[in-house]
Structure 1
Amino acid sequence: MKNIGLYFGTFNPIHIGHLIIANHMVENSNLDEIWMVVTPHNPFKKKSTLLDNHHRYEMVYRATEDYDKIAPSDIEFKLPQPNYTVHTLAHISEKYPTYTFSLIMGEDNLKSLHKWKNYETILEHHHVYVYPRISEGIVETQFDQHPKIHRVNAPIVEISSTMIRNAIKEGKNIKPLLSTSVWNYIDEMNFYKK
Structure 2
Amino acid sequence: MSGPRVGLLFGSFNPVHVGHLILAEHFATRTDLAEVWLVVTPHNPFKAVADLLPDTERLRLVELALAGNPHLRAEAIEFGLPRPSYTIATLDALRQRHPHHDFVLLMGSDNVPGLPRWQESARLLSEVDIYVYPRPGYDLPSLEEFPRVKLMNAPLLDISATYIRESLCAGRSIRYLVPAAVEEVLQPPRASV
Q: Does TM, scored on the shorter chain, surpass 0.5?
A: yes
Residues 8-66 of structure 1: CA deviation (Å, up to 9, x unaligned): 000000000000111111122111100000001479x8633311110000000000113
Residues 129-180 of structure 1: CA deviation (Å, up to 9, x unaligned): 10001111x3223x34643111111011100000100011111112110100
In the alignment, what sits opposite 1:178? 178
Q: After superposing the two structures, state which structure 1 stretch, 147-156 or 104-113, moved more.
A: 147-156
Partner amino acid for 1:158?
D
Question: Are positions 1:47 and 2:64 aligned together?
Answer: no
In the alignment, what sits opposite 2:5? 3
In the alignment, what sits opposite 2:162? 162
In the alignment, what sits opposite 2:187? 187
Q: Is the 8 A contact 1:84 1:117 kept in 2?
A: yes
* Counterpart Cα distance in 1 of 2:50 and 2:84: 18
Q: Is the 8 A contact 1:14 1:59 kept in 2?
A: yes
Question: Are positions 1:140 and 2:141 aligned together?
Answer: yes
In the alignment, what sits opposite 2:125? 123
In the alignment, what sits opposite 1:89? 91
C-alpha displacement of 1:83: 2.1
* Counterpart Cα distance in 1 of 2:125 and 2:145: 13
Q: Is the 8 A contact 2:107 2:133 kept in 1?
A: yes
Q: Secondary structure of the residue that 2:69 maps to in structure 1?
A: coil
Q: Is the 8 A contact 1:93 1:99 kept in 2?
A: yes
* Counterpart Cα distance in 2 of 1:146 and 1:28: 23
Q: TM-score, normalised by structure 2?
A: 0.90
Q: Is the 8 A contact 1:41 1:52 kept in 2?
A: no
Q: Is the 8 A contact 2:7 2:104 kept in 1?
A: yes
Q: How many residues align?
A: 187
* Counterpart Cα distance in 1 of 2:131 and 2:144: 12
* Counterpart Cα distance in 2 of 1:59 and 1:84: 23
Question: What RMSD, in angstroms, separates the aligned Cα atoms of the two structures?
Answer: 2.0
Structure 2 residue ranges without an equivalent (≥5)? 189-193
* Counterpart Cα distance in 2 of 1:41 and 1:84: 9
Partner amino acid for 1:140?
P
Structural mapping, 1:60-71, within 5 Å: 60-71=62-73
Q: Is the 8 A contact 2:43 2:85 kept in 1?
A: no
* Counterpart Cα distance in 2 of 1:49 and 1:146: 32
Question: Are positions 1:33 and 2:53 aligned together?
Answer: no
Q: TM-score, normalised by structure 1?
A: 0.90
Q: Percent identity?
A: 37
* Counterpart Cα distance in 2 of 1:4 and 1:179: 23
